[in-house]
Structure 1
Amino acid sequence: MGEKEKQKTAIVVGAGVGGVATAARLAKAGFRVTVIEKNAFTGGRCSIIHYDDYRFDQGPSLLLLPGLFREAFADLGTSLSAEGVELLKCEPNYNLWFSDGESFELSTDVARMKTEVEKWEGKDGFERYLGFLQEAHRHYEISVTHVLRKNFTSLLSMARPSFLRHLFPLHPFESIYSRASKYFWTERLRRVFTFGSMYMGMSPFDAPGTYSLLQYTELAEGIWYPRGGFHKVVEALVKVGERLGVSYRLSTTVSSIELDSSLKRATGVRLSDGESLTADVVIVNADLVYAYNNLLPPSSRATALQKRPASCSSISFYWAMNRKIPELTTHNVFLADDYRESFDDIFKKQLIPQQPSFYVNVPSRIDSTAAPEGTDAIVVLVPVGHLLDKQEGKGVDLHSKQDWDMMVTKARQTVFSTIEARTGARNLEQALVKEIRNTPQSWKEVFNLDKGAILGLSHSFFNVLSFRPSTKHPSIDRLHFVGASTHPGTGVPICLAGSKITSEQVLQDFGTAKPWESSTGRQAKIVRPIDQIQALPLLSNIHIAMLAILLCLVAAFYGIDGLEGLGEGIWR
């Protein structure tokens, strides 16, 4: 078989969501793919923790942007349902609990939202809420089309006219909080519609206004949960990949990425046991900062990446309860009274706030398979600062002592007392059968996350688009990246979108066709005349000027009263 006829080979380092999706895509394009994963399980942070008959989602516990999930499976010639993934709609989306005994219920139900918003913002509040949704809708549609489906390989990529004309409508230079403040006039609702910035590990006072798209997708498309746990999505992608020939090597650690003699081209990987594996291309799904600093030769770029702002970390508790806690819904958020100060404690001091905000998920409320009958499985996520090191720069209080044992104890006590005080639940600690937990140290050790930052690099303006680390190494050929810290960013659906960007970049390098463009398996929709979209044409400036002149002539001829009479005659 000639050189051109040989099957191309690829190695994917890491079996997170981005890694398994990229592996399946390349396999569909004809590559022989091997995935190397240090842990004994796939999914990375998107994995499952088991205790007896209790099941906990280790990381993500709600599915957003469902269209990106459907697209990923359609590109692979299948669907979520065909792979046995059943999505359950969470209704309401969240219950938000305040210290004054009040709560707010976020929902996709417009009538319910009208009642909730008007309760605090008055009759005009609902109209302003619809204005907020309209803006967030634009952020969503523009971002999906011009950011999540496009690569930004250089600063010139941001100068594309198709993107540049949308830059200011995305409000990247304003914060989520400042944008929300234009629509919501009470502090309570400003908090209700901005806490979601924590999905990206950012303060709502720093996160670009663009990311109100997250609130939009929740309110317009809903929050979903895969029956059996979020890892069901990963399992399905793994199975699809295996059918296409992907080979998985779990409990296998990569010690370095192999380069040719010129150090300009990736040729494979070396494992911790000394074994060397060769491939035509290497795709890294490990934490990007870790990869640059531990799998590649030392470089100024690797050092610079360590100095970039990182997202927060978390203290996460996984609680097996011996009874149900009916006061809690599927998704619950408890907001601190000192809202801004709590974020400053996390992002400026890298500590746990004096009064932390936190998120509580009860998967057994939506999916009974998560816990034995009559009991609940509970996951608690308390955002905290990431691990400090000597490279931390300005804006961080290096004199703050990170006493993690103290912070874990404080987080645990605060969560129990706050839930009981705000919801009326009683004796939670006495109902606890088993506690498992993750801290910044365990996030770092188990998943190689730099500083234990659970969402990778920050998403501030100078850490996104062309400023975010590229999906391809700038000086080493045949070395690509996919995952939270590379473009387009963090979060399961965003990493799925990133897998398509990275896969297509690899295929372009090899001159290989994209199989999902020619065989999506979708039947063309028949558009009947009655269903044709026929937008009314907008008046041009010339038409407007002509209309104005015509009205002036009519007014001069009939007089003002005559003009009004003419109008009445027309409407009769």
Structure 2
Amino acid sequence: MAAKPNGHISRIAVIGSGFAGLSAAAYMGKAGYHVDVYEKNQQLGGRARQLITENGYLFDMGPSWYWMPDVFERFFNDFGYTSGDFYELEALDPGFSIVYSENEVLDVPSDYQGIRNLFESIESGSALRLDQFLKEAEFKYKVGMEKLVYKPGLSLTEFADVDLMKGVFKLQVFTSFSKHVKKFFKHPKLVALMEFPVLFLGAMPQDTPALYSLMNYAGLKLGTWYPKGGFSSVIKAMKTVAERQGVNFYFDKPIIDFTIHNRLVSEIGLKNERKPYDGIIAAADYHHIEEKLLGNQYRNYSNAYWDKRVLAPSCLIFYIGVNRRIDKLKHHTLFFDQDLKQHALEIYKQPAWPSKPLFYVCCPSKTETGLAPEGHENLFILMPLAPGLEDGEILREKYFELILGRLEKYTGNPIRKHLDYKKSYCVSDFIADYNSYRGNAYGLANTLMQTANLKPSLKNNKIDNLFYAGQLTVPGPGVPPSIISGNVAAQQLVKYFNH
């Protein structure tokens, strides 16, 4: 158990209060350890912080898509709760909309029969092919999300599981996602619809394993949901669960260094004090922990290794308050009115500010009042961007004008004349606020060479009581994988104490 033979209860420090950190802390607390969470910012939640303006707008600063509700439920169930004990979920209908041009909009219904009808109306015979595609994707989701992602990725023997062995070819880890989609669908609208989840979370569709069609199953079969109060409701709920396991939280407390002795971290260094701990879960940026807190002697990977990693995108975000309603927008709207391939190239292959960007608009005030003053609209606009780019004010303004021009044209609404609030967020902000490696927003891209055991290890190989969680280790980018990552790191640390 958590107590040592001398009766001392082992003390754990968790670095970072995003989804991975909250998850790890809750599981360690449940296992009977003394757990302290250290957050460098003044606010809970990491990338899922909230921005509250003086004139009555409430923005989720990061995640806005609630997919894979079963992963959230599994977390709460592990502590004897359901998500409904903390927040209300609303199914969005349409789940999301895709704008191909001013007059061509695809509203993706929340019910599956509606989705089949939509596919059939675009490409004859595609409804049956969608059934087949999603049947395969469901298998990948069941094996991938229930087995594969809960593996720590420390040894190939983890895959000696009968279901995994039988399913390894059906998982299509070595097949290109793009080729897989095009085997089923020919119409560019349907191809774009199926490819969008990997573009925003990973890599070029041709470099992403077909395993990730499990994302299509999540989006089209399990539905798109909205947690009332926004994602901060989920963060607050997870904090409550952690606190009920005895976890303590400390804000505005960046970790400066570690005391390391005999392959163990024995203390963490804060600005004005040092504190003793028996185990560490680093749910902050992996590269930052390695470079700034461990140095060359104790890090797993060299800078040369990190430089070769393929990162998921960074992004340019605008948080905008508008003092009028915008009828034509839905809760989630994806603007695919430019060439998808070109923008993907400018993110992944020839990093540059995009010539004709795609972008995404979230308008949660369509679903929930209280996120904006009455009669106003709350807009979160995101443009995926290559990580590591310069992002000065002039560039941000240029893209604001470009995006708003297209948004105004589409909605028939002079939005810029009705701005009530505006804030931008980009590469340099991700670095300043989250020590994010090269300003990435999502973590490592889901490429073939960065899947499962090929991701940075969740265990430090030179320090026995230090484990990593979050989007730069297993299982990967996105909110559900981060929650799972915290769970897996906690299991490994408990295992270390029990060996």
- TM exceeds 0.5? yes
Which residue does 1:55 correspond to in 2?
A: 58
Which residue does 2:347 correspond to in 1?
A: 346
- Moved >3 Å (runs of 4+): 1-4, 155-162, 402-407
**2:431 pairs with one of 421, 444, 467:** 444
Task: Name the SS for the 2:35 alignment partner.
Answer: strand
Cα deviations by residue, 1:324-359 (Å, 9 ceiling, x for unpaired): 111000000001432211100111222222111111
Task: Name the SS for the 1:381 alignment partner.
Answer: strand
Q: Is the 8 A contact 1:155 1:467 kept in 2?
A: no
Instruction: Indicate the structure (1 or 2) with the bigger Cα radius of gyration.
Output: 1
Which residue does 1:521 correspond to in 2?
A: none
Aligned-pair RMSD on alpha carbons? 1.8
**2:416 pairs with one of 418, 423, 429:** 429
| Separation in structure 2 between the aligned mates of residue 382 and residue 483 of structure 1, nearest angstrom | 23
Code of the residue aligned with 1:196 in structure 2: it is P
Code of the residue aligned with 1:327 in structure 2: it is K
Which residue does 1:285 correspond to in 2?
A: 283
Please report how far the alpha carbon of residue 403 of structure 1 lies from its aligned counterpart in structure 2 after TM superposition. 5.8
Which residue does 1:93 correspond to in 2?
A: 95
Task: Name the SS for the 2:83 alignment partner.
Answer: coil
**Change in CA separation of 1:58 and 1:198 when aligned onto 2, cut-off 3 Å:** farther
Cα deviations by residue, 1:505-554 (Å, 9 ceiling, x for unpaired): 11122229xxxxxxxxxxxxxxxxxxxxxxxxxxxxxxxxxxxxxxxxxx
State the structure with bigger RCO (CA 8 A, min sep 6), 1 or 2. 2
Q: Is the 8 A contact 2:396 2:424 kept in 1?
A: no
Please report how far the alpha carbon of residue 81 of structure 1 lies from its aligned counterpart in structure 2 after TM superposition. 1.9
Q: Is the 8 A contact 1:329 1:365 kept in 2?
A: yes
Q: Is the 8 A contact 2:290 2:300 kept in 1?
A: no
Q: Is the 8 A contact 1:336 1:355 kept in 2?
A: no
Which residue does 2:295 correspond to in 1?
A: 297
Which residue does 1:559 correspond to in 2?
A: none
Count of aligned residue pairs for this structure pair: 493
Q: Is the 8 A contact 1:11 1:279 kept in 2?
A: yes
Which residue does 2:14 correspond to in 1?
A: 12
Structure 2 portions without partners, runs of 5+ = none
**Change in CA separation of 1:294 and 1:466 when aligned onto 2, cut-off 3 Å:** same
| Separation in structure 2 between the aligned mates of residue 69 and residue 43 of structure 1, nearest angstrom | 15
Which residue does 2:495 correspond to in 1?
A: 508
Q: Does 1:249 align with 2:272?
A: no
Code of the residue aligned with 2:267 in structure 1: it is G
Write the mapping of 1:290-329 to structure 2, written as runs, cut at 5 A.
290-298=288-296, 299=299, 301-303=301-303, 304-329=305-330
Cα deviations by residue, 1:101-156 (Å, 9 ceiling, x for unpaired): 2111212323322332122102x121112122112112211201331222210344
Code of the residue aligned with 2:70 in structure 1: it is G
Cα deviations by residue, 1:239-265 (Å, 9 ceiling, x for unpaired): 2222222111100110112211x3x11
Q: Is the 8 A contact 1:336 1:342 kept in 2?
A: no
Write the mapping of 1:153-552 to structure 2, written as runs, cut at 5 A.
153-158=154-159, 162-260=163-261, 262=262, 264-273=263-272, 275-298=273-296, 299=299, 301-303=301-303, 304-387=305-388, 402=390, 404-421=392-409, 423-511=410-498
Q: Is the 8 A contact 1:157 1:466 kept in 2?
A: no
Q: Is the 8 A contact 1:158 1:466 kept in 2?
A: no
Q: Does 1:27 align with 2:29?
A: yes
TM-score in terms of structure 1 length? 0.83
| Separation in structure 1 between the aligned mates of residue 244 and residue 460 of structure 2, nearest angstrom | 30
Code of the residue aligned with 1:109 in structure 2: it is D
Q: Is the 8 A contact 2:92 2:110 kept in 1?
A: no
**Change in CA separation of 1:424 and 1:78 when aligned onto 2, cut-off 3 Å:** closer
Task: Name the SS for the 2:170 alignment partner.
Answer: helix
Task: Name the SS for the 1:320 alignment partner.
Answer: strand
Q: Is the 8 A contact 2:197 2:216 kept in 1?
A: yes
Task: Name the SS for the 1:182 alignment partner.
Answer: helix
| Separation in structure 2 between the aligned mates of residue 65 and residue 111 of structure 1, nearest angstrom | 20
| Separation in structure 2 between the aligned mates of residue 197 and residue 407 of structure 1, nearest angstrom | 26
Please report how far the alpha carbon of residue 314 of structure 1 lies from its aligned counterpart in structure 2 after TM superposition. 0.2
| Separation in structure 2 between the aligned mates of residue 193 and residue 340 of structure 1, nearest angstrom | 14
Q: Does 1:69 align with 2:72?
A: yes
Please report how far the alpha carbon of residue 464 of structure 1 lies from its aligned counterpart in structure 2 after TM superposition. 1.7
| Separation in structure 2 between the aligned mates of residue 202 and residue 406 of structure 1, nearest angstrom | 28
* Identity between Structure 1 and Structure 2 (%): 28
| Separation in structure 1 between the aligned mates of residue 365 and residue 285 of structure 2, nearest angstrom | 31
| Separation in structure 1 between the aligned mates of residue 172 and residue 438 of structure 2, nearest angstrom | 30
Please report how far the alpha carbon of residue 281 of structure 1 lies from its aligned counterpart in structure 2 after TM superposition. 0.3
Task: Name the SS for the 1:228 alignment partner.
Answer: coil
**Change in CA separation of 1:485 and 1:2 when aligned onto 2, cut-off 3 Å:** closer
Please report how far the alpha carbon of residue 162 of structure 1 lies from its aligned counterpart in structure 2 after TM superposition. 4.3
Cα deviations by residue, 1:260-299 (Å, 9 ceiling, x for unpaired): 1x3x1121311133x1111110110101111111111225
Structure 1 portions without partners, runs of 5+ = 389-401, 513-572
**Change in CA separation of 1:2 and 1:464 when aligned onto 2, cut-off 3 Å:** closer
Q: Is the 8 A contact 1:289 1:306 kept in 2?
A: no
